[in-house]
Amino acid sequence: MAKSSPAKTATKDAEDESKIVTSNDILNSALKGSKADHHNFSETVNWKTSTGSLLLDVATGGVQPSLWRLCGTNNSGKTPQMLEIIRNIMKDVPNSKALWVIAEGRGLSKENRERCGLTFVTDPADWKIGTVFILQTNIFELFINVVKDLVKNNDENIRFAFVVDSVDGLILRDDAAKEITESNRVAGVPMLAKKMLQSLSLGMFKYGHWMGLISQVTAEIKLDPYSKAPNRGGSFSGGNSLLHGSDVILEYASPYNGDFILDNPAGKFNDGKTKPIGQNVKCTMVKSLKEETRKTLVVYPIRYGRKPSGIWVEREVGDLLIMWELVKSPEKGSWLTITESLRTEVKEGTGVELPDKIQGQPKLFALLEENPTVTAFLFDKFTKLVG
């Protein structure tokens, strides 16, 4: 075998010594060698839709690929709001499907399913674009593996929306098989929440998917009978993992008598004559995707029996008209002034002539209900302003 000459060997050694391995080379080599462990070379998918409520959109910035957590007691408005978000995703996000996990016995009521305008299926063969598949399980492994497989093996390039109702009902398969009398420790919600967030990773939302988690109120035992009463919302399970891992957190308060909207504003709740026709849903925005992060009380109206959306948009539009001073409240009296700029814009956009003054908020709401084209025009205008 031919031997290298001393001159060639010396030249090769000099070339090897002169080659510098940069930090860029090291990082590039690591990323190319472990593509399954990161998402740097993948395109981020973005979209945006409404929560269904203009006032909630103003507070949260609307819905986009992210993790939302809705907390509260029974009948506080969590499930209808989650259905509203899913309906808007199915309507506005191309090639989208939803998976609703029922992890508790109550599940989705028949009334909620029929009213929300969504198509629910239980046979995988019927799970088409724009429909919601109901997965009835509280076994954590089944739920998380289905979600991971749908996101990872997504050859159809579908945008998924996942809802878990509720995270409090999830349990590990081994724990579910234990006898009640067994003293072995059962995995709690905080641990399962941490496992879930670790399993989903950032890739789920990078690729344009959305998830909503419903959390229930946990009992608070008072050792001191004279201590301050807990707030209307209560305490919620999930631990620090859900607190830090969620992008948006809304805590819904139980309704009080004063929250109900009556058919006779002059009447009284439960007086035997006056009936509630809606209510002001109250929730505290604990966390959002907007730059400012602070606890903000959001109040938005719903009307009972309205399909497919229960959001009382006429009242929301009216509230925003006053909030943004397009309709100005007087210092004295009850007459509201409709600005000339608003009257001109509505006239040009809908052909409807608004009066320059109107007596009180109830009359303003009635005016918007009597003119649905005006309400739709202003709703669209405000939705674009919110972004």
pLDDT of residue 176: 82
Q: What is the pLDDT of residues 67-80, one digit of tens each?
A: 999 998 877 889 99
Q: Is the pLDDT of residue 321 over 90?
A: yes
What global pTM score does this model have?
A: 0.83
Confidence of residue 357 (pLDDT cuts 50, 70, 90): very high
Least confident of 26-30, 45-49, 84-88: 26-30
Q: Is the pLDDT of residue 274 over 60?
A: yes
Q: Is the pLDDT of residue 238 over 70?
A: no
* CB-based contacts of 253, cutoff 8 Å, min separation 6: 72, 76, 231, 232, 233, 282, 283, 284
pLDDT of residue 198: 74
* CATH 3.40.50.300 domain range(s) in the chain: 54-252
Confidence of residue 196 (pLDDT cuts 50, 70, 90): confident
Class of domain 54-252: alpha beta
pLDDT of residue 223: 40
Q: Is the pLDDT of residue 234 over 50?
A: no
> Pick the residue with more confidence: 161 or 114?
161
Q: What is the pLDDT of residues 148-194, one digit of tens each?
A: 999 989 999 999 999 999 888 888 888 888 776 654 555 566 677 77
| Contact call for residues 97 and 160 (beta carbons, < 8 A) | yes
| Contact call for residues 336 and 329 (beta carbons, < 8 A) | yes
Q: Is the pLDDT of residue 205 over 70?
A: yes
> Pick the residue with more confidence: 201 or 314?
314
Extended strands (E) in the chain: 67-72, 96-102, 119-121, 131-136, 159-165, 210-215, 217-218, 235-236, 248-252, 260-262, 276-287, 296-303, 327-328, 335-338, 357-359
pLDDT of residue 11: 57
| Contact call for residues 264 and 274 (beta carbons, < 8 A) | yes
Confidence of residue 227 (pLDDT cuts 50, 70, 90): very low
pLDDT of residue 119: 96
pLDDT of residue 74: 78
